[in-house]
Amino acid sequence: MSATTMTAVPPDLAGRDCLTVSAFSPEEVQGLIRHAYWLKEQKKAGKHYAPLTDKTLAMIFDKSSTRTRVSFETGMAQLGGHALALNRQELQLGRGESVEDTARILSGYVDAVLIRTFQHELVEQLAENASIPIINGLTDLHHPCQAFADVMTLAELKPGRDDLRLAYVGDGNNVLHSLAEAAALTGIELVAATPPGYEPDAAIWQQAQALASTTGARLHLTHDPREAVADADAVYTDVWASMGQEAEKEKRQRDFDGFIVDASLMNFARSDAVFLHCLPAYRGLEVAAEVMDGPQSVVFQQAENRLHVQKALLVSLLVGNG
C-alpha cells in the first residue's frame, strides 16, 4: 500500500470498539492508514480540521504512558475535542466499583474511552458493558494502536511494495501479537525471532496465521535472529522486559543474550533496511546505540505517526464517514 494514496474520507467504523487489530478487515485497516496520512498532510499544511468538536475522550491509565497519552490527548485537541486523563485511583474503580457500572456511567458522560491496562479481559469487559467506543491503548496481550502506526510508517517508507519483509527480534509480547495481525491484514511477510520459551501466544499467532492465509501474507517463527533479519526491508525490536515484568529483568537479559539489534545483525538485512522500535528503547540491551541513533533508524518518525493514526482512529470510531 502506498502512503501517497490518501483520502479525506475515513473508514466508517462509527460506534465500534478497537480492542485488537484483527477486529478490522484489510480494507478498514488500509482506509485507516490512508486517512491518517491525509491528516498528517493537513497538519503539515497548517489546515484546521475539527470533526470532533464537543466530543470527549476519557483516558484511563493503569500503566505509565508517554506516547499513548500525549498522542491521544493532542489528537483530540487538534480535532476540536477534549480528553480527560484519569487513573484507577482517581475513579471509583479504585474503591471497588464494578467495571460494568463504570462502563455504564462513562457511557453517559463521554463519547469514547481509551484504556491502558494489564489484563486484556478488563478491556473486553468494559467494551461489553459500554455503549460507546472502547479503545485499547495497550494490554498485556495486544497493542493495536502501535501496530497501526507501524504499518503507516512502512507504507510511507516503502510505498507500493507488495513483497515487504519485516523482521521482528525480541520478546513474543503484545507488540508482536498486534504486529502479526497487522502484517497478516496488509500482506506483509513477517519473520519473528524469539528466544526459546518467549514465543508469542499460540492462539493469537494461529489466528494471525489464519488471517494471513486470506491475504497472501506470510508469518514465520524462528529462534535465530540472523535468519529473521536476512534480506529484511525493516527490522523491529522492543524491550526485553515490559511493564509488570521488572522482577524478571536479570533473567531475561541472560535469556535474550545474542538478540541485541546491533550493526552486525543489521548487516544481514537489505542495505536500505530501516530500524523500528515502539519505544521506550534501552540502548545497550535490545538495541545498540549505533543502530538506534544511526541513519537507518526511523523510530521518531514511527513515534510521530502514533499521533496521526490515532487521530484517524478517533475520527473513524466517533463520526465515521457520515
pLDDT digits (tens, 9 = 90+) for 106-141: 999 999 999 999 999 999 999 999 999 999 999 999
* Statement to judge: residues 181 and 278 lie in one domain: yes
- The answer to whether residue 68 sits within a structural domain is yes
Give me the pLDDT at residue 242, please: 79
- The answer to whether residue 120 sits within a structural domain is yes
Which one is catalytic: 278, 302, 308, 310? 278
- The answer to whether residue 19 sits within a structural domain is no
SS3 for 259? coil
- The answer to whether residue 17 sits within a structural domain is no
Is 238 catalytic? The answer is: yes
Which one is catalytic: 18, 34, 78, 116? 116
Which one is catalytic: 143, 165, 177, 252? 143
Which one is catalytic: 30, 78, 140, 146? 146
| Residue range 225-270, pLDDT digits in tens | 999 999 999 999 999 987 677 788 899 999 999 999 999 999 999 9
pLDDT band at 30; cut points 50, 70, 90: very high
Known binding residues for L-ornithine are 174, 238, 242-243
Give the helix ranges, DSSP H, for the chain.
26-44, 67-78, 99-109, 120-129, 144-157, 174-186, 202-215, 225-229, 249-255, 263-266, 289-292, 299-318
Residue 4 has pLDDT above 60, yes or no: no
The sheet that has 219-222: what strands, in order across it? 219-222, 189-193, 165-169, 234-237, 274-277
- The answer to whether residue 260 sits within a structural domain is yes
CA distances from 221 to 180, 191, 195, 209, 241 (A): 11, 6, 10, 11, 20
* Statement to judge: residues 31 and 130 lie in one domain: yes
Which one is catalytic: 140, 171, 233, 238? 238
> What total number of domains does the chain contain?
2
Residue 274 has pLDDT above 80, yes or no: yes
Is 62 catalytic? The answer is: no
Give me the pLDDT at residue 241, please: 84
The sheet that has 82-87: what strands, in order across it? 82-87, 56-61, 112-116, 134-138
- The answer to whether residue 1 sits within a structural domain is no
Q: What is the mean pLDDT of the chain?
A: 95
* Statement to judge: residues 116 and 236 lie in one domain: no
* Statement to judge: residues 152 and 134 lie in one domain: no
* Statement to judge: residues 168 and 132 lie in one domain: no
* Statement to judge: residues 116 and 183 lie in one domain: no
Is 116 catalytic? The answer is: yes
Give me the pLDDT at residue 85, please: 94
Which one is catalytic: 165, 277, 306, 308? 306
* Statement to judge: residues 158 and 294 lie in one domain: yes
3-state helix, strand, coil in the chain (%, to 5): 45, 15, 40
Give me the pLDDT at residue 249, please: 84
* Statement to judge: residues 170 and 130 lie in one domain: no
- The answer to whether residue 246 sits within a structural domain is yes
Known binding residues for carbamoyl phosphate are 65-68, 92, 116, 143-146, 278-279, 306
Residue 94 has pLDDT above 80, yes or no: no
pLDDT band at 161; cut points 50, 70, 90: confident
Domain that includes residue 72, residue range? 26-142+306-318
* Statement to judge: residues 89 and 206 lie in one domain: no
**For the domain that residue 288 is a member of, what is the CATH number?**
3.40.50.1370
* Statement to judge: residues 136 and 201 lie in one domain: no
Is 143 catalytic? The answer is: yes
* Statement to judge: residues 252 and 217 lie in one domain: yes
- The answer to whether residue 15 sits within a structural domain is no
Known binding residues are 65-68, 92, 116, 143-146, 174, 238, 242-243, 278-279, 306
